Amino acid sequence: MSRTAEHREDGVLPTSELKVVVGAAYAALKLRAAKIDALNVYPVPDGDTGTNMLLTLRSVMEAVAASPDLRGEDAAKAVSRAALMGARGNSGVILSQILRGACEKLGHATSLDAKTLAEALGGAKERAYSAVREPVEGTMLSVVKDAAAAAQAFVEGGKSDPVEVLREAARAAHESVRRTPELLRVLREAGVVDAGGYGVAVILDSLRASLAGEAPDLEDDDESVPDEDLLRDKVEHSAEEAWGYCTEFVVSGFSGDPDEFASWIHDVGKSVLVIPDEDLVKVHLHTQDPGGAISYAGSFGRLSGVKVDDMEAQTRARADHEDAAPTSELGVVVASRGSGNRAFFEGMGAVVVEGGQGANPSTEDFVRAVAQTGARSVILLPNNKNVVPTAEQVAGLVDVGVEVVPTHTIVAGLAAMVGYDAEGEPEEVIEEMRDIVSGLRCGEVTQAVREARVSGREVPEGAYIGLLDGELVAVEQGVEDAAMRLVERMLEEGPDVVTLLRGYGMDEGSARKVAERIRSLDGSVEIEVKDGGQPLYPLQMVAE
């Protein structure tokens, strides 16, 4: 049964129909995701083009399933926002903009005719190109451009069948995919076509079939896929692209100068995408300092969806289709945020998984990091109570021994690392680190994101709160005041050492005042101040 729609006064995109159309695209892409992944020239974590595009479409499916009654512009906005929030990797972010551009046209349409579809493809092309500061031809950008041009020419030639306009767009997309090696030397040298472009062609095929009421064509096509013998050569070729960390996050409630923000992000990274959408901004970049980028972004709003992959460390393991065999006895993996904290942990011998409050790392992130240690036994420090359950799942997914020392704050993780000895007996080191953690008192200062009543106390939105071992002990209007109240409680048991971990939102002068307050209360306490750079928590403290 054809899905070409009759005239509608309230818009052409009810989510009930979107669910069917997106579901068809998702199913077609899922069948070919492995092939699309194999087309990547660069065998790096950011290179799973098929998987990243699939995850983006899955977010859209979930959104339309959750809001079945939306129509027209509201439905289009729901799709656009879901695609952007769920986008993974460079290809996923660009796909989200292709969907956004199409939906902006479809959301105002009253009939799903050939002209509307051609305009939607034109909007998709415009949004995709505007997302990239320096567009590169021979990529998925070229493919969507050629598909849009073919659809427009089809309509201008007097054709009016919407199914046929999508057939023409898909045909042009496949031709464009086959031409990508002519436009991009790196594809030509690797003997492949562009992976993202092929994904776009697959999606257009599925949309045509869905609109026509047909089952999608699942027969294989002739886009080039490299054989296994090319993979190792491709690793050598990818040295520059596998640079640094693939870093992604969303800034919600964005407040600040968007041009200044985008310029700073472009200055510190490669393969940069900065996509604004009303009050949020989606960011993708490759950088040597993911913590710095994340901390900077945290000053513009609330962070979510933080994802960091070490591309350099994983390139060769991916090409060999296996992780390196264990080469040492004991390793440690920590979850942390902030460039200063990353440097502290790495300096003490840890492999760092970027994540924590508001940006929980995945089990897969931990599994990869465990492999990166090259150790037979690995200690995990989650450094956040919400990350502990994720860390506890890792042991059943790897072939090496894993023990979780359940640290609940970054500063507790730093204290625990004092007991780490890479050459020690694993059981003894784990016991020592657990003993250290059990004797700590940990304090945090953060800002309330909403009004609440906690332990009988009113907490206004925007107030600074002090938490001691998870218990609310201070509610103040200023960050310094909250820190001072927290310090008073932390010193009640007479600690020997207090470490202050300064994060984003507390300047050096304020940190010095807190340290001076500690000295005034107990002159015998040894005080250490570190610049961690963690977002969300202007100050973390630990008393030992």
Note whether 61 and 26 are within 8 A (CB): yes
Quick one: average pLDDT of 357-380? 83
- Are 350 and 491 in a shared domain? no
| Residue 316 included in any domain | no
Return d(Cα 440, Cα 435) in angstroms, integer. 9
Position with higher pLDDT, 530 vs 237? 530
- Are 102 and 200 in a shared domain? yes
Question: Tokens 């100068």 sit at which residue?
Answer: 257
pLDDT at 436: 92
Q: Is 166 helix (H, G, I), strand (E, B) or coil?
A: helix
Return d(Cα 397, Cα 378) in angstroms, integer. 13
Q: Which of 387, 408, 439 is the last residue of a domain?
A: 439
Return d(Cα 297, Cα 392) in angstroms, integer. 30
- Are 527 and 483 in a shared domain? yes
- What is the DSSP track for 207-270? HHHHHHT--------------THHHHHHHHHTTTTT-SEEEEEEEES--S-HHHHHHHHHHH-E
- Are 428 and 458 in a shared domain? no
Question: Tokens 């007996």 sit at which residue?
Answer: 425
| Residue 6 included in any domain | no
- Are 54 and 93 in a shared domain? yes
CATH assignment at residue 300: 3.30.70
- Are 63 and 128 in a shared domain? yes
Note whether 10 and 107 are within 8 A (CB): no
Quick one: average pLDDT of 26-32? 81
Contacts of 428 (CB under 8 A, 6+ apart): none
Return d(Cα 429, Cα 385) in angstroms, integer. 22
CATH assignment at residue 369: 3.40.50.510
pLDDT at 219: 55
CA 506 to chain CA centroid, Å, is 26
Strand partners, 531: 502
Return d(Cα 458, Cα 223) in angstroms, integer. 62
Q: Is 340 helix (H, G, I), strand (E, B) or coil?
A: helix
CATH assignment at residue 33: 1.25.40.340
pTM beyond 0.75: no
Band of residue 20 on the pLDDT scale cut at 50, 70, 90: low
Q: Which of 283, 309, 335 is the last residue of a domain?
A: 309
- What is the DSSP track for 382-426? --STTTHHHHHTGGGGSSSEEEE----SHHHHHHHHTT--TTS-H
358: left (phi over 0), alpha (psi -120 to 50) or beta: left
Two structure tokens written together for 354: 């970027």
Output the CA angle 164-97-194, nearest 5 degrees: 70
C-alpha count within 13 angstroms, C-beta hemisphere, residue 342: 22
- Are 140 and 44 in a shared domain? yes
Quick one: average pLDDT of 268-295? 89
| Residue 71 included in any domain | yes
Q: Which of 216, 235, 254 is the last residue of a domain?
A: 235
Position with higher pLDDT, 157 vs 32? 157
| Residue 331 included in any domain | yes
- Are 153 and 257 in a shared domain? no
- Are 61 and 191 in a shared domain? yes
pLDDT at 324: 47
Residue type, 19: K
pLDDT at 7: 43
Least confident stretch, 13-22, 302-311, 401-410, 506-515: 13-22
| Residue 116 included in any domain | yes
For the stretch 68-92, pLDDT in tens is 677 777 888 888 888 888 787 788 8
At residue 457, φ and ψ (nearest 5 deg) are -110, 140
Task: Identify the domain containing residue 284 by its residue range.
Answer: 243-309
Contacts of 483 (CB under 8 A, 6+ apart): 445, 466, 506, 510, 514, 538, 539
| Residue 314 included in any domain | no
Average pLDDT of the residues of the chain: 82
Q: Answer yes or no: is pLDDT of 406 > 90.
A: yes
* Cβ count within 10 A of residue 403: 18
For the stretch 317-328, pLDDT in tens is 444 444 445 557
pLDDT at 313: 56
Return d(Cα 361, Cα 89) in angstroms, integer. 16
For the stretch 452-495, pLDDT in tens is 787 788 888 888 999 988 888 889 898 889 888 988 888 888 88
- Are 71 and 205 in a shared domain? yes
Output the CA angle 222-226-228, nearest 5 degrees: 140
165-168 contact pairs (CB < 8 A, 24+): 165/114, 165/117, 165/118, 166/117, 166/204, 166/207, 166/208, 166/211, 167/208
| Residue 229 included in any domain | yes
Two structure tokens written together for 199: 């994904």
Number of domains forming the structure of the chain:
4
Note whether 156 and 107 are within 8 A (CB): no
Two structure tokens written together for 202: 């697959």
CATH assignment at residue 486: 3.30.1180.10
- Are 77 and 167 in a shared domain? yes
Q: Answer yes or no: is pLDDT of 163 > 50.
A: yes
| Residue 10 included in any domain | no
Question: Residues for the chain: how many in total?
Answer: 544
- Are 64 and 114 in a shared domain? yes
